[in-house]
Chains A and B, each alone.
Chain A
């Protein structure tokens, strides 16, 4: 395994508006640190996440993608996160098939009260991705802006 001291991964976090985005805000309010590599995109519900978005992120050079939603049963839209969970399970097998490491994508349930969990999850995820090294499998080098 290649150990690259200077490697700073790009991580995209999709957070649902009602639970996880609020959870992320809470970890900020509590001044809980997590790496700056994580950039959050707000979506109304975890079920809004089209698996295509994740593929696109990998294609454009993201090293890890994480989806955060409300805990099962707590979805603001009642059933959204159940759909998200199933879709992501399918996507995982596709990514597996394409040779993208399983650890590069993750689904976590973070409630609006779990600021600490959000920060801990992001720390852990960033560590995992740093250990895995850059994502080269799907990156479309033609898109790279030098």
Chain B
């Protein structure tokens, strides 16, 4: 038989003015199982808490009901109180007779009656409460950063600075990401390489950072504090430890016609290559799709010229499995494919380029050595037309991306400004729908392009680009001027929309992290938890969460690092004990619960059960990982056999409350 104590709080006059607390205490004393009932002015005060503790000891209470303010206010306080008196903290229920009774009713009789019913419901529930113990799970003090762009580098540096080891997994042969391809950065126009490469070197020299380049995450298991991740390190056919990065092999390789992805195919590289001079790690990589030795076994020039003996044609992919406490996603973005936008003649003329290609054409380390030349004939262009919002702000997936890509307005202003500065003999047109420049010194920057550099900003979209006689005929409308423009341009630059990297979707599945319809990672709360994924232990950094410029990316990267550090300093994590719990004897292994679980907390295991006649039956049953389960209860309703229940909010407990209220 339960021995329940009821404690009715006056809350000064907050409750006592409208609820007859004495009557409530006396009426509830008659409820089955109640052995002690009292009222007191302030239950949450020191004296009130002592009163509760004394009653627990004196009356050997097995359950406590406190009729007071909202459990959102003082549940934690009273749990500690009863725990100190030796009672399990989860054998406590609170009847909310302040926010949901005394404060909303004026009539004393009605309020008192309602308070009694609320108290009764709490008593009915506490009868069925079971002692729960919050589990502890250890934290592996190591973080994984997926993606080695500026976001990943910044996050890794900050975590390493705090003293925790970090691994960066980068799919390309070098870290640095998109920022390495950018020429100058807005709005200050400092050179991207000058500010990025020192950070790349810092990352490679930091003792706490391990860069795993040319690698991809293959499998993720575990949960917050205890992830186990398998990483596939692709064979680069060069021993990373032996290679000195001298680059001799990349000069001698006879295969010269490999499109150079670093310059977006605007020039060629060799089959063995180092992406760019400041690559980290500065190690050569053999492209197996073009290497004659790997394809037909006939060549071997690189091995002959390599004085360090680093070339290894027999190298295999390597699988690395490591344990991590936290994972940061920093997979970044890609510009979209422009196949759908044939009106801009991107596939018809090499002189129609994307903005990222234009960055390479302007970059001193790019294919033209920093001199702006038309890709078709290598001549100096005089008329340049920039088109904004190509593929952004479209209606539905058929047309393009529905969101604004955010960075295009600023980089187009930058390109236009730099072109006019370097080549004052050019005419530069920018066609815009809206110019969006919120940000520190951003609008000033755009105005400078117009006012000081004489860039022609025209409100309107380009309708058609036709390559004709070595020129690009641009047909566009000046909406504010009310005239049709036909411009003979030398180059057309398209501000292509950006989209999340293609590897993000399969990665999200592995991490059980949620994504929106555009494949951007979802944050735990759009305003208050912007760098955490709803899945515990997964953090978001940079453009994988939404379009971002460099300052924003770096800010978010450091914020994610702060969250990771906050997790890694803990020795163990306390789990929420109100988790789902399956009854293995009732579970029929149907997987309904697994499908609705938003956290991937439910797995299935084969378990042996004793069958009739001394046989052993192997049955597939659900198993909940209490460290991952957040206790939402979606699975309990989905379970067709009723095997799944939620501790602390069990079916029986809620039904008991319903019965008590409807009595």
Chain A residues proximal to chain B, CB less than 8 Å:
10, 12, 17, 21-22, 24-25, 27-29, 31-34, 36, 39-45, 47-53, 56-57, 60-62, 76-80, 83, 87, 119, 145
Contact = CB atoms under 8 A, between A and B. Distances in A.
B113 interface: yes
Interface in B609-663: 630-634, 636-638, 646, 649, 651, 654-655, 657-659, 661-663
Nearest to B71: A42
A36 B113 contact: yes
Contacts of A32: 104
Interface of B: 70-72, 96, 98-101, 103-107, 110-111, 113-114, 117-118, 121, 514, 522, 534, 578, 596, 598, 630-634, 636-638, 646, 649, 651, 654-655, 657-659, 661-663
B103 A31 contact: yes
B658 A119 contact: no
B636 A48 contact: yes
5 contacts: A32-B104, A44-B633, A48-B646, A51-B637, A80-B632
Contact of A83 (B107, B111, B121, B596): B596
Contacts of A40: 96, 100
Given A40-B96, A41-B661, 7 more contacts: A27-B104, A41-B121, A43-B649, A47-B633, A50-B654, A60-B659, A79-B598
Main secondary structure of the interface of B (DSSP, over half): helix
B3 to A, nearest CB: 24
A15 to B, nearest CB: 9
A53 B110 contact: no
Contact of B72 (A21, A61, A78): A21
A62 B118 CA distance: 15
Given A41-B657, A42-B71, A78-B534, A28 B634 contact: no
A14 to B, nearest CB: 8
B72 A22 contact: yes
Contact of B99 (A28, A43, A79, A83): A28
Contact of B662 (A12, A22, A79): A12
Given A83-B596, A87-B637, A25 B100 contact: yes
Query: What 5 pairs across the A-B complex have the smallest Cβ distances?
Result: A48-B633, A28-B99, A77-B632, A60-B662, A28-B103
Contacts of B110: 36
Contacts of A145: 663
B121 A77 contact: no
A57 to B, nearest CB: 5
Given A12-B658, A57-B662, A77-B634, A39 B651 contact: no
A50 B637 contact: yes
Contacts of A79: 598, 634
Main secondary structure of the interface of A (DSSP, over half): mixed
A53 B598 contact: no
Contacts of A56: 655, 658-659
A12 B663 CA distance: 12
A28 B662 contact: no
A78 to B, nearest CB: 5
Contacts of B636: 48, 50
B78 to A, nearest CB: 15
A4 B256 CA distance: 93
Contacts of B117: 39
Contacts of B663: 60-61, 145
A71 B632 CA distance: 16
A28 B104 contact: yes
A26 to B, nearest CB: 8
Contacts of A12: 658, 661-662
A62 B654 CA distance: 15
Nearest to B533: A78
Counting chain A CB atoms within 10 Å of each CB, which of B70, B117, B522 scores highest? B70
A27 B100 CA distance: 8
A83 B663 CA distance: 30
A62 B636 CA distance: 23
Nearest to B94: A42
Contacts of B100: 24-25, 28, 40
A33 B100 CA distance: 10
B19 to A, nearest CB: 11
B659 to A, nearest CB: 6
